[in-house]
Structure 1
Amino acid sequence: MTKLLAAAVAGTLVIAPVAPAFAAAATPPPSSLDRLTAGPQTRLERLTAGDGMAGALSQVRTPGGATLTLRSGTAERGTGQPMIGPEGRFRIASMSKPIMAAVVLRLIDQGKIDLNAPVERYLPGVLRGKGDGAGIDGRKITVRMLLQQTSGLPEFVNAIAWKEPFPDYLQVALRLKPTTRGSFAYANTNYLVLGMIVTKVTGKDFRQASRDLILQPYGMRDTYWPAKGDLGIHGPHAHTYGVIPGRPRDRETDLTDRLPTYEFGSSGGLVSTPEDLNRFWREAPLGKMTATMVPVKQAGWPEGARYGYGVAWMESGCGQAYFGAGDMPGASVFSGQDQAGRTGTVYVTGVADTPEKRQHLIDAFIAGMCDR
């Protein structure tokens, strides 16, 4: 999911771009990025020394296989321990969406899902709005609309308290006023429903289906879905810092072993590494994922961005790039591939929860991708 947890970060859950779950402030024109005077290491250090993130990491891989990994900050506050390398696992939040979109496209290739079919075909009677959501109707919403965030389904993230017992997120969404169907409006609810469709057509939990169809075939060995009740991160990882969901007035704390990542589901529940995310971009069917794109006219996205099936597009300052991003308490990530085939991932062990911090994260990504 890229919106941060409702109360934890303005307008984003772990599910959307920072501004709606992945991106936050609009990206300034490429000419203002002054990438010639501020290289990738400088951009990365601005996130730690300037923005106060505990740690930051960037990894870029060329089509030929050469990699450049840059680090800044610490893996754990108060220890002086250097930031962990690209093998470090972290909660990728809404960067889970491109991966789930790839799962759906694989099932379309297998003839198990029809891109233009209504949700009603797979989940009969499930999408029926109530109260303020009376206009929601699964007979009028297609799989394509879910993938492209144009279904009109409302965002459930800001309508829940994020504490146990957790509610049925879809039922919460079905009682909220929908957005305009056919126009882009980022909502984690779209990918929540896609996860339900994947489970229905495969007969497997969407987590297992994604392992079988994408994670294992792509060689993403260090990417996993946390189990219910699992509050930590398995394997090598840096500590992550933020505000406990539902307690926005609290001070920043170590959230490494305190987040129920399972609850973020198909919209943002994956744990991965920079190496695995860059591997995903090399393997993903980007031609299909970007075959049809819609304009993004929503605050918090790079200027001129367009959105396909789980993947967005922008002008990077040195060419075009496809990307995904995500935020959740304790981590923000921006990851993608340019048209030349370079892949890059930048993440921080804090939250890019202001327009300025979000822009700095995007700048670090662009600087890494443009540093030839």
Structure 2
Amino acid sequence: MAVAGLAVTNVASAGALDGASRPAHDKAMQAGLDALVADGSLPGMLMSVRNRDGRVTNYTAGVGDIRTKSKVPTDGYVRIASITKMFTAVAILQFADEGKLALDDTVEKFLPGVVRGTGDGAAVDGRTITIRQLLNHTSGMTTRMPLMPKGILPIKDRYFDARELLDAALAQAPTFAPGQDRVWGYSNAGYVLLGLVAQKVAGRPFAEVVTDRIINRIGLKETYYPGPGDRDIRAPHPQGYLLPKDDQGEAIDGDLIDITRFDPSIAGAAGQMIATPSDVNKFLVALQAGRLLTPGRLAEMRQAVDARNFPDGWRYGLGTIEMKLSCGITAYGHGGDADGFQTRAAITPDGRAVTVAGTNDEVHQYAVLDFFDKALCATK
């Protein structure tokens, strides 16, 4: 399961292949990627596969820039969006391993007086919300993102402090009572709050917590938490796109909008990070190999609850998703949708890790999930 010695084979899009034999190239996988970009609404796709024997193969399809028709950069940087939640959860679980917090502690213990709802959110109270409930989305905190009612375009250059995000969420009515039996609601606000808890426990900025405890610890060279005001993506990267919008943020007919450059602070600890697909796989391998959490804590991370509106066979653990695949295997990972990028990442019990990314988060989501399932189930 060592990361440092992985063999890497780079595979360009099908149209760019020179016909030479490529030992790890799966033609079915390439054809599947090509099909996803065929109608042009999803301009580019990237995928990195870390096989069970440690071999890494990188695939691309489509174009990296619809204006210049440039190729998708092999294993380029993308916004990994809610895959960030896995990093946030690992940091929290590390603190639990070290005895610095317990998962059934209330938020109040670490942020006294901070989590008090206002207005419609008057029932939200940090004295009744636990760390575990935030991790598995059973806290009842709002599922809305109230600071972007018309989507990303009106606020794409705004910087948001984590406390500003939290205060906006605390004015929203709770979805249900914390820990209410068999009730679940995906809350970005809950993970923003976890970022503040981690920051308080460490006494350091959350970005530094993630960088020191995870990124640097396992040698992720192509993963980072953007700093304040950083609206760009490191090179090389494909462009990310949105469907055109009306004044209310609703999709309309027209040319795709380039949304590559925006301030990701609107997502914070719930979805701000950037990485390459192969680096996400390295993270998954390190996590499963016990390099970030003790075995008992990893098992606890994977204890899942039913999650409404998820694909059949998918359940939610502590910052990770349990995915029952069509081939009968159970994989663990996460997905992410940031404006301009959709990403899906998971690892099987025997170590096959797959991360796919597309450069439009608003189209072909189910087709991407179906392809992702096939890629995880593939035998080569």
- TM-score normalised according to structure 1 size: 0.83
Give the fraction of aligned pairs with identical amino acids, expressed as a percent: 32
- Measured after TM superposition, the shift of residue 249 of structure 1 is 5.1
For 2:356, which of 346, 362, 366 is the aligned residue? Answer: 346
Aligned to 1:273: 276
Is 1:333 the counterpart of 2:343 in the alignment? Answer: yes
> In the alignment, residue 322 of structure 1 is paired with which amino acid?
Y
Larger-gyration structure (1/2): 2
Is 1:100 the counterpart of 2:100 in the alignment? Answer: no
Quick one: distance in 2 between partners of 1:173 and 1:141?
Answer: 14
Gap runs ≥5 in structure 2? 1-26, 288-292
Aligned to 1:148: 136
Is 1:68 the counterpart of 2:77 in the alignment? Answer: no
**CA distances 1:12-53 after superposition (whole Å, capped 9, x unpaired):** xxxxxxxxxxxxxxxxxxxxxxxxxx9322321222114621
**CA distances 1:175-209 after superposition (whole Å, capped 9, x unpaired):** 11112222221010111000000110111001001
Greater mean alpha carbon deviation, residues 73-82 or residues 283-292: 283-292
**CA distances 1:305-327 after superposition (whole Å, capped 9, x unpaired):** 11111101121112111120010
- Measured after TM superposition, the shift of residue 347 of structure 1 is 0.4
For 1:322, which of 329, 332, 344 is the aligned residue? Answer: 332
For 1:59, which of 45, 48, 51 is the aligned residue? Answer: 48
- Measured after TM superposition, the shift of residue 165 of structure 1 is 7.1
For 1:169, which of 128, 148, 165 is the aligned residue? Answer: 165
Aligned to 2:297: 288
Residues 107/201 of structure 1: CA separation in 2 closer, same or farther (3 Å cut): same
- Measured after TM superposition, the shift of residue 231 of structure 1 is 1.6
For 1:84, which of 56, 60, 73 is the aligned residue? Answer: 73
2:304–2:322 Cα contact (<8 Å) kept: no
For 2:369, which of 351, 362, 369 is the aligned residue? Answer: 362
**CA distances 1:90-125 after superposition (whole Å, capped 9, x unpaired):** 111101000111111111112222111111000001
1:92–1:326 Cα contact (<8 Å) kept: yes
Kindly report the root-mean-square deviation, in angstroms, between the aligned alpha carbons of the 2 structures: 2.2
Tell me the SS of whatever aligns to 1:367. Answer: helix
1:93–1:270 Cα contact (<8 Å) kept: yes
Quick one: distance in 1 between partners of 2:316 and 2:141?
Answer: 16
> In the alignment, residue 254 of structure 1 is paired with which amino acid?
D
Residues 266/166 of structure 1: CA separation in 2 closer, same or farther (3 Å cut): closer
- TM-score normalised according to structure 2 size: 0.81
2:244–2:251 Cα contact (<8 Å) kept: no
Q: Where do residues 204-353 of structure 1 align in structure 2 (5 Å cutoff)?
A: 204-243=204-243, 247-248=249-250, 251-256=255-260, 258-284=261-287, 285=293, 288-291=297-300, 293-299=303-309, 301-318=310-327, 319-351=329-361, 353=362
- Equivalent residue pairs, number: 329
Residues 177/262 of structure 1: CA separation in 2 closer, same or farther (3 Å cut): closer
Q: Which has the higher contact order (CA 8 A, sep 6+)?
A: 1
Residues 159/227 of structure 1: CA separation in 2 closer, same or farther (3 Å cut): closer
